[in-house]
Amino acid sequence: MTAQDPRTKFSSEKIPKQEQPLPGLQTKLDPKPDCGEETYQGYGRLTDYKMLVTGGDSAIGRAAAIAYAKEGADVAINYLPAEEEDAEEVKNVIEAAGRKAVLIPGDLRDEQFNYELVEKAYNELGGLDNVTLVAGHQQYHDDIKGFTTEAFVETFETNVYPIFWTVQKALDYLQPGATITTTSSIQGYKPNPILHDYAASKAAIISLTKSLSEELADKGIRVNCVAPGPFWSPLQISGGQPTSKIPEFGQNTPLGRPGQPVELSGIYVHLAAEESSYTTGQVYGVTGGGQIN
C-alpha cells in the first residue's frame, strides 16, 4: 500500500445543500460518509474486548464501533430510537465481521437510562473493557440572543452530563487495563460564536477527561479524548450548521476538505488498545490541520 495525498484521499467537492429534522439520519445523507464499512482494515488489536459506544449509529460513533468490531471486539451501541435505521446498518457490519452487536436505543438526557445502558451493555456483552462517548447535540444560532436557557440545558444534558452518569456506573464493571474515550471538538479550543453552548460543552469535556484521568489512574483505568475538526455527519445538516454553509463545509481547513469518519477510527482503536498503555489524560486532535492549543 502506498501513501496517499491527504488533500485528495477523499472528495473536496462542494456538498449539496440539504437539511433534515433532528436527529438526522446517515442513510439520507448526500454523499454518504465513509465510516469504514468497506475501507477499514482490522488487525486483531482488540480481540474479544467488550466495548460500549454512544452515538454509535452514525458518523464518528459509527466509525469507532465498526473499527472496534473489525479489530475483534464485541460492541454495544447506543442511539436515539429515531435512528434505528442507521443502527441496524451498523449491527449488520459488526456481525459481518464475526462479532456480537448489541443495540440499546434510548435518550442519554435521562439520567436513569445511562445507568441502565451501562448495565445492559455489561450483561449482554459479558463484560466491559471500554466506554466510548461520542453522542452529541449541536444547534447553531445566529447570535447570542438566539440562545435560550433551554438550548443550553439540552446541549449540556446531551454532551456533558452523560459522561458523569456512564462513568459512575461503568466503574462498577471496569477493571484495571480498561479505558474510557471521550469526544470533544476543535470547538473546545476555537469556539465559533454561532455555537456558544456546543463549544462550551466541548471545552467542559476536555476538562472532565483530564480530571477523570487523574482520579482513575489509581484504578489502572486510562481516560483520553478525541477532538475532531469538521467531519461530515448528520449533525451538520440537522441544525449544526446553517444550510447556506454546507457546500463549503470543511474546505477552509489546511487540507481543504471535510474529514470522513473512518479517518478517526485508528485514533479510537489506538486509545483503547494495549499499544497506548502509557497514554492517559490526553486530547488527540484530528482536525485537517486546524490547531488546538
Residues belonging to the active site: 198
Query: Which ranges constitute the DSSP H helices of the chain?
Result: 59-70, 84-96, 111-125, 149-159, 161-170, 196-216, 234-235, 262-272
Rounded to whole angstroms, how far apart are CA atoms 224 and 209?
A: 6
**274-279: Cβ within 8 A, 24+ apart:** 274/45, 275/45, 276/222, 276/224, 277/222, 279/222, 279/224
For residue 16, cis peptide bond before it (omega within 30 degrees of 0): no
Task: Give me the residue label for grid cell 490541520.
Answer: 289
> Cβ atoms within 10 A of the Cβ of 288, count?
23
Contacts of 104 (CB under 8 A, 6+ apart): 76, 77, 78, 117, 120, 121
